[in-house]
Amino acid sequence: MDNEVVIKVDKVYKDFILVHEKKGTIKGIFTSMFRRVTIKKEIQHALKGISFNIKKGEFFGIVGRNGSGKSTLLKILANIYQPSKGKVYTNGKLVPFIELGVGFNPELSGKDNVYLNGAVLGFSTKEVDAMYDDIVRFAELERFMDQKLKNYSSGMQVRLAFSMAVRANADILLLDEVLAVGDADFQRKCFDYFKTLKKNKKTVVFVSHDMSAIREYCDRVAFIEDSVLVSVGKADEIASKYTQMFMTENIDNNEGHGERWGNGLIITSKVEVNVTENYLEIIQHIKANKEIENPIIGIRVRDSAGVEVLGTNTKIEKVKVGLIKSGNNRVVNWRIPNILSDGNYVLDSAILHEDSITVADWWDDAKKFRIAKDRHLPYPIDPGYKLTINSVR
């Protein structure tokens, strides 16, 4: 195996046998002892011939709908499951963050569980002593460490478990939606940790439904659908393919010529872009075809080469849209300082459900517009530079 390749997945298959014979009553249990019982078995093909390589220092994503096989694949990488056929080769110490808190005892205190879990992770008592304060501080549980773990909330348990897990000295980390049950502050702390991993060129395998996280952190991504590897490619490319699975035909594409997809429960019916010398005004006309709570409405601007220049959404801006009833409309007005350089641009409009995953209406190239300035820079942003040069004697 190439020294630069730390994980090689070679034609991996995984099958599960499902038994359907059922005796639902006491009478059924006893009468089955005296007759021939037919047990029906079904083979579930969870993975079918999966192959890819992960290089040292890559932040590698795995995406797919529920039931596609991605978590099964991660458990095979973690050596929890064995493949039915095929091989997985790893080069380096691997630590899975798949089920946080494995090895914790609910009857013990938080402090005792730190030492117990430390032993599971291979640390000596002296090593846990040295890192104990940092573990507790990261988990933000200073006042609770003498309480029994069974009295912790699920969020508190996850914070303690994650704080322990990140101490593991590993070459390869496996992450499976470990942040799903954490609160917003905890998730931000975990994402800061992800940035540290990426900066330090740590090899990470990350399974997630969150396409914004996939786009931000992953170098390459594997897309699995119906137990088959659809493709492996750059994060933005695969994230777009994933969201396009939700494409439907009930969106009235009455403006623009770009690609468009989503379930159409709420749509952008019209977009306007007004350019002045000082501001860029973007107006989205939103129409609900079904009652929807707190949709996430966003924009993205790209230059003529397709490079993303700027963008945001209501979730990032911490604005709650609220309940929109079927047939009702909203007008979303964005006002942005005109810092774009002279050139041609395109606007993408997007509406997602509150879960940040389900696409209602993603509209690429919804509007084209031009920024006209009296000078042309080789960069997309022109913030307005002020320059002074002073003579020094």
The domain segmentation of the chain, as residue ranges, is: 5-243, 250-371
For residue 334, the model assigns a pLDDT of: 96
Residues sharing a CB contact under 8 Å with residue 363, sequence separation 6 or more, in sequence order: 253, 256, 258, 260, 268, 271, 348, 349, 350
Other C-beta atoms within 10 Å of 314: how many?
17
Structure tokens at 167: 């101490």
Q: What is the pLDDT of residues 348-360, one digit of tens each?
A: 999 999 888 788 9
For residue 182, the model assigns a pLDDT of: 57
| Secondary structure of residue 161 in the 3-state scheme | helix
According to DSSP, the residues that pair with 15 across neighbouring strands are 45
For residue 304, the model assigns a pLDDT of: 81
> Residues of the chain whose pLDDT is less than 70?
1-3, 20-39, 98-103, 177-185, 244-258
For residue 296, the model assigns a pLDDT of: 95
Backbone angles phi, psi at 82, to 5 degrees: -105, 140
- The sheet with strand 296-303 has its strands ordered as 260-261, 359-371, 343-352, 296-303, 308-313
For residues 172 and 6, is the Cβ–Cβ distance under 8 A?
A: yes
- The DSSP output letter for 177 is S
Nearest to 313 by CA among 262, 256, 283, 351: 351
For residue 343, the model assigns a pLDDT of: 87
According to DSSP, the residues that pair with 348 across neighbouring strands are 300
Nearest to 313 by CA among 246, 278, 361: 361
Residues sharing a CB contact under 8 Å with residue 153, sequence separation 6 or more, in sequence order: none
Amino acid identity for residue 140 in this structure: E
Q: In the CATH scheme, what is the code of domain 250-371?
A: 2.70.50.60
For residue 249, the model assigns a pLDDT of: 40
For residue 366, the model assigns a pLDDT of: 92
For residues 96 and 177, is the Cβ–Cβ distance under 8 A?
A: no
**What is the CATH class of 5-243?**
alpha beta
